[in-house]
Amino acid sequence: MTPSGRQPTPLTLVSGARAADREAAIAAALRPHEAVAVILEGLADGNSILAGLAEQASPSFPLQLLRIAPGCLCCSGNLVLRVTLNRLLRHPPARLFISLADATHIEQLRSWLGASPYDSLLALQADVLLA
């Protein structure tokens, strides 16, 4: 439990070469009536399955999509990711996914997501690594 008395938000890191594959894996993991937020690294694809689902979002199926410019979220994108997470976790979703184009630094990213202050706000789940 967090200091505020809420359960930590489950966080899954999804990595793979193609944005469409990462989005499809996240879409397949969504549960009806669950508030979910997805942080996507990179620009929108014209055929984004998650963008289509977000357009259909409703109070019974809330889906927040947040985009971060392409770049390593552990290195060059670290500050932007921290600001985005801090804003998002003010009103935390039931689940959170972060889509990464490159898994090179995924262990470093997991390390700082598992450190203070995120250690009490997030519950790291198993990574989804796509070929």
In a domain, 2, yes or no: no
Tens digit of each residue's pLDDT (9 = 90 or more) over 29-84:
998 889 999 999 877 667 788 888 888 877 767 899 998 887 777 677 788 899 99
pTM over 0.85: yes
Instruction: Return the CATH number at 102.
Output: 3.40.50
Task: Quote the domain boundaries for residue 117.
Answer: 9-14+21-129
3-state secondary structure the chain: CCCCCCCCEEEEEEECCCHHHHHHHHHHHCCCCCCEEEEEECCCCCCCHHHHHHHCCECCECEEEEEECCCCCCCCCHHHHHHHHHHHCCCCCCEEEEEECCCCCHHHHHHHHCCCCHHHCEEECCCEECC
In a domain, 69, yes or no: yes
Total domains, the chain: 1
In a domain, 94, yes or no: yes
